Amino acid sequence: MLKKILIQPDYILAWENENFKLVSFGEIIIEGDEITYLGPRREHNRKKFSKTIKGDLVMPGFVNTHTHAAMTLFRGYADDMPLLEWLGEKIWPAEAKLKKDDIYWGSMLAICEMIKGGTTCFADMYFHMEEVARACTEAGIRASLAQGLIGTDKLKGSISLKKNENLVRNWHKAGEGRITVMLGPHAPYTCPPEFLQKIMKTAEKLEVPIHIHLAETRKEIEESLQTYGKTPIKFVDDLGLFEHNILAAHCVHLSREEIDILAEKKVAIAHNPGSNLKLGSGIAPLADLLEKELLVSLGTDGAASNNNLDMVEEMRLASLLPKGLKENATIAPAEIALKLATINGPKALFLDETVGPLKKGAKADLIVVQLKKPHLFPLHDVVAHLVYSAAASDVDLVMVNGKILMEKRELLTVDEEKILFETQKRATKLLAGLN
């Protein structure tokens, strides 16, 4: 018999007719991993429920559509550097020392941080991804995983692609369906045309999407023009990449014509405002992407370039930056920013339509947010408060697939103290001897 959970909060941020709907004094009933009722509050025999949850606001969990989880180990190590110098001089030499156990514990630290900030699902591209899958399975979080693929060395590229294939075969739809897998070519400047073509053929064979960095810096654009006579967007489009299901991270430097290409080919975009600002990469043209009705979601990028995995912060930046750039306060209003951080995420990850919204028949992925705090009062507009006033620490409870991962700010599926100890020990060892 499935366990039944009753949630009776002050407010529910439900999803109805492709819009958020604030339900006052309603209730949610969860059976197993599914929401079986969402509506007006009713009288119940409490003995029929294994647990009853109160709270201020129940809403969809945040979905982080682009990060490199185990890079938490390098948080604060190489700050205030341009992207390509940051990668070549600091990050890649440090990553060369990473072992499987380091990836596991670094990922656990990221998962710990994300759960405490209300993230119920994330997309990760890194190395030793079986260890990330293991961490996700143990922690109970939902994840879309991709092996980072670099093809400048043909042999190493082939080995990495085989690892990604094995990841699909061994982990796709694992963990009660919470784990899904993509292929992860790093970027056009690290994946030559023949390697990208091989990746596309593999994606078609395995029937999985592709997660790739695109148009992140001006230098990337300039080098692509020098090498191929085309920008990265036009280069991969001509190669046929956009004929597949594509999640494109960053997309900072785009022409109008390129935005039209992305819209026509229905490319999903992971917008990373915090990381792009910190690395000095630029500011993505979110207003233009929204105008063309592109599917835009939000990501934090890795904690080495952000330096946190705080989706509330990304949501706020996503709303504020285009307002300032366009000198127009009506662009990217609060409800749109919230949609980017929640509902759009599962769509960008090509997940089942039951993942994301709060409605009958959906997966029970949700968070409870405390509203009775000075920085959130008076309650004129709950959605606006979430975007412009809230903090990640306002999240009180996190549930994924009907399982509670955090309650009253206490993590229930992972050992936070042990994670902090292990990651400090490993980070210190990894960076010893590096400049």
CATH number, position 12: 2.30.40.10
**φ/ψ (deg, to 5) at 356:** 125, -70
Residue 435's pLDDT is what?
65
386 and 310 share a domain?
A: no
Report the side by side order of strands in the sheet with 34-40.
Answer: 34-40, 26-31, 4-7, 51-53
198 and 335 share a domain?
A: yes
Residue 167's pLDDT is what?
98
Q: Report yes or no on 286 lying in a domain.
A: yes
Residues of the chain with pLDDT under 50: none
Strands (E), 251-295: 268-271
pLDDT digits (tens, 9 = 90+) for 88-123: 899 989 989 999 999 999 999 999 999 999 999 999
Q: Report yes or no on 420 lying in a domain.
A: no
| DSSP symbol at 174 | B
266 and 183 share a domain?
A: yes
Q: Report yes or no on 434 lying in a domain.
A: no
91 and 18 share a domain?
A: no
38 and 146 share a domain?
A: no
Of 348, 375, 396, the residue that ends a domain is 348
Residue 1's pLDDT is what?
61
The pairing of strands 11-16 and 57-60 is parallel
Q: Give the closest residue to 77 by CA, choosing from 277, 284, 305, 412.
A: 305
Distance between CA atoms of residues 416 and 406, nearest Å: 11
175 and 220 share a domain?
A: yes
Q: Give the closest residue to 156 by CA, choosing from 192, 203, 102.
A: 192
Q: Report yes or no on 202 lying in a domain.
A: yes
Distance between CA atoms of residues 263 and 294, nearest Å: 6
Q: Report yes or no on 83 lying in a domain.
A: yes
Residue 346 CA: distances (Å) to CA of 107, 122, 365, 387: 20, 9, 11, 19
Q: Report yes or no on 246 lying in a domain.
A: yes
Nearest-5° Cα angle at 158, 84 to 135: 75
241 and 184 share a domain?
A: yes
38 and 111 share a domain?
A: no
Distance between CA atoms of residues 89 and 222, nearest Å: 20
What CATH number is given to the structural domain containing 340?
3.20.20.140
| DSSP symbol at 10 | S
The SS3 call for residue 307 is coil
Q: Give the closest residue to 68 by CA, choosing from 136, 125, 148, 127.
A: 125
328 and 387 share a domain?
A: no
302 and 245 share a domain?
A: yes
pLDDT digits (tens, 9 = 90+) for 25-46: 999 999 999 999 999 999 888 7
Q: Report yes or no on 139 lying in a domain.
A: yes
Number of domains making up the chain: 2
Domain span at residue 144 reads 62-348
Q: Report yes or no on 27 lying in a domain.
A: yes
Residue 17's pLDDT is what?
87
Residue 3's pLDDT is what?
86
Cα torsion through 385, 268, 115, 187, rounded to 10? -130
Helices first, then strands: H and E counts in the chain: 16, 19
Give pTM, 2 decimals.
0.97
Identify the residue whose tokens are 């990469």. 281
Which secondary-structure segment (H or E) carries 388?
A: helix 382-388
247 and 385 share a domain?
A: no
246 and 154 share a domain?
A: yes
Distance between CA atoms of residues 409 and 395, nearest Å: 7
